[in-house]
Amino acid sequence: MNFSQPVSHFSLLKAITLLKEVLEWCYIDSATNEGRGPVSLRDIEVLWETGEITSQTFVWRQGMTEWKKIMELPDLQKKIYGLFFMLIF
């Protein structure tokens, strides 16, 4: 790696955008009723596998007007189930 080269403004903005996409979800911890996150979709999947979150868990991400239960977000359910099945098979 050549660290003497300056990082372009575009590269930095792209990295920040990708990070925001990766760490996009917040959720309500049912044990403490406190908000947690932001976490990645992979983290959500692990929380689902361990039973720490369920279809009744409230989640939120930037662009949403209010917190919603996972069961109200079919696209998120598909992503969670898709990741889960990809890891099993």
Q: Which domains are present in the chain?
A: 23-88 (3.30.1490.40)
| Confidence tier at 7 by pLDDT (50, 70, 90) | low
Cβ partners under 8 Å of residue 55, min gap 6: 69, 70, 71, 77
As a whole number, mean pLDDT of residues 70-74 equals 92
Residues in contact with 37: Cβ distance below 8 Å, sequence separation at least 6, in sequence order: 23, 25, 26, 27
Distance separating alpha carbons of residues 8 and 1, to the nearest angstrom: 15
pTM: 0.68
pLDDT at 56 over 90: yes
Instruction: Give pLDDT tens digits for 27-37.
Output: 999 999 999 99
